[in-house]
Structure 1
Amino acid sequence: MIRTVLSAEVEDIVALHARARVTYYPDGLPQDGTDWVAAWQSAVARPDGHVLCVVEEGRIIGLASFRTPEGAPADTVKLFQFHVDPDHWRSGVGSALHAACVEEWQADGRRTAVLDVHVDNRRAQAFYARQGWIPDSENPPAEDDHHLNLRFSVTGK
């Protein structure tokens, strides 16, 4: 089942977020001082954003967080977080969650989606490519940035 995350589920989201992110950091998850509980509470509470989750047997196994980024056109949405529990990779969970995001973006009149993905996260890059994401030529990464910027046509054009 895919649905909106509840505020009471933030601890579960933080745990899933950590399990997924640690897989593409060769030296383990960086300790950069980010309070992920507060960050996810804010994402869930934002009136201008949305956090979807995939629930299987009462457990959250996938999540996606998106909203219009500051300064972007109203028809653009940014996918800020997209994670699937590593135990469920290659099972269709990510594709189903992505399809639910696209359906919501289309219903909201979005035309373009953007995201950035860590350069070491080859698995995610391959997943996004399969979904139709392409490098964002209008937004190349800064020289010291460790992320690739991708773009997706919500309308398919």
Structure 2
Amino acid sequence: MIRAATADDIDAIAALHREARATYYRDRLPEDAYAGPEETARSRAAWAAAVAQGRVLCAERDGVLAGVASSGVRDGVMYLGQLHVAPAQWRRGVGGELHRACVDAWRAQGVTAVRLDVYEHNTRAQAFYAAHGWQPDPDVPRSSTHLVLRLTLEPSAE
């Protein structure tokens, strides 16, 4: 089930985010950079703000948070800021379901292009996004240690 996040979800979202990030940052960054107390507090505050703005979707399986996605406009461009699935839920369709819900919402808003930044060493995410139609952004191919991808959307048929 996909639903809008609420304030009651923030701790679970922050924990899922930390767990997912550890899978691709571990052995590449110091642990404090992705799971230390300061980063954990910063991440929780960012998620709380995004939830308060209505920019977060949650995927549930059997009443438990299985994935989360957030998007919003940055510098006049729609961005998929986060899409994380609990590692225990990988390869079970959670990410695809969240992605479809985001695409549907963007189309309903009349969005025709979306960007995202994906960590250069996160090959699992890169493969996921490529399978869902994302391509390297020709205008901005990189942002520091991240690749920039773009998804072009056809207008809604409605």
* TM-score past 0.5 threshold: yes
User: 2:149 & 2:58 partners in 1: Cα distance?
Assistant: 22
Name 1:22's counterpart in structure 2.
22
Name 1:155's counterpart in structure 2.
154
Tell me if structure 2 keeps the 8 A contact 1:18–1:29. no
Give the SS at the match of 2:147.
strand
Percent identical among aligned pairs is 44
How many residues get paired? Answer: 148
Deviation at 1:96, TM superposition (A): 1.0
Give the SS at the match of 1:116.
strand
Structure 2: segments with no counterpart, 5+ residues: none
- CA deviation profile, 1:3-60 (whole Å, cap 9, x unmatched): 00011110000010011110011326642433211111011112xx510010111111
Q: Could you tell me the TM-score, scaled by structure 1's length?
A: 0.89
Runs of 4+ in 1 over 6 A off after TM superposition: none
How do 1:119-134 residues align onto structure 2 when only pairs under 5 Å count? 119-134=120-135
Give the SS at the match of 1:99.
helix
Name 2:32's counterpart in structure 1.
31
Q: Could you tell me the TM-score, scaled by structure 2's length?
A: 0.88
Query: Considering only aligned residues, what root-mean-square deviation do their CA atoms show, in Å?
Result: 1.5
- CA deviation profile, 1:134-153 (whole Å, cap 9, x unmatched): 000101225xx110000001
| Cα pair distance change 1:129/1:112, threshold 3 Å | same
